[in-house]
Amino acid sequence: MNIYVGNVKYEMTGDELKEMFSVYGEVSSARIISDRDTGRSKGFGFVEMPNDSEAKAAIEATNEKEIGGRTLKVNEARPREERPRDDRARRSSRDF
């Protein structure tokens, strides 16, 4: 199960996130999402846990938990929605 972890402190690393969720079971991956241009954390990340019952226990235990002065928002990650493509970027404004 893929888990969304929001409102994490900006200094948190993927390793710290993995360590926090490992208490509840096996963690296959954990990553903090960073801004592509600045490299600065966006304040959220994702944890992948292969066992759904362990993942649900982790969500239950960590959602609304305060870490580093911030209240975590933790839930099952939803698939990313397809955004409509913007064709304007590919079209030329010239009229031939």
Domain ranges (residues) in the chain? 2-76
Q: Do 41 and 34 contact (CB within 8 A), yes or no?
A: yes
56 has a pLDDT exceeding 70? yes
Please tell me the predicted confidence (pLDDT) of residue 17. 97
| Record: fold of 2-76 | Alpha-Beta Plaits (3.30.70)
Q: Do 16 and 47 contact (CB within 8 A), yes or no?
A: no
Beta strands (DSSP E) in the chain are 2-6, 29-34, 41-48, 66-67, 70-71, 73-76
Q: Torsion over CA of 64, 71, 26 and 3, rounded to 10 degrees?
A: 80
Amino acid at 42: K
Q: What is the pTM of this model?
A: 0.82
More confident residue, 68 or 40: 40
Q: Is 72 helix (H, G, I), strand (E, B) or coil?
A: coil
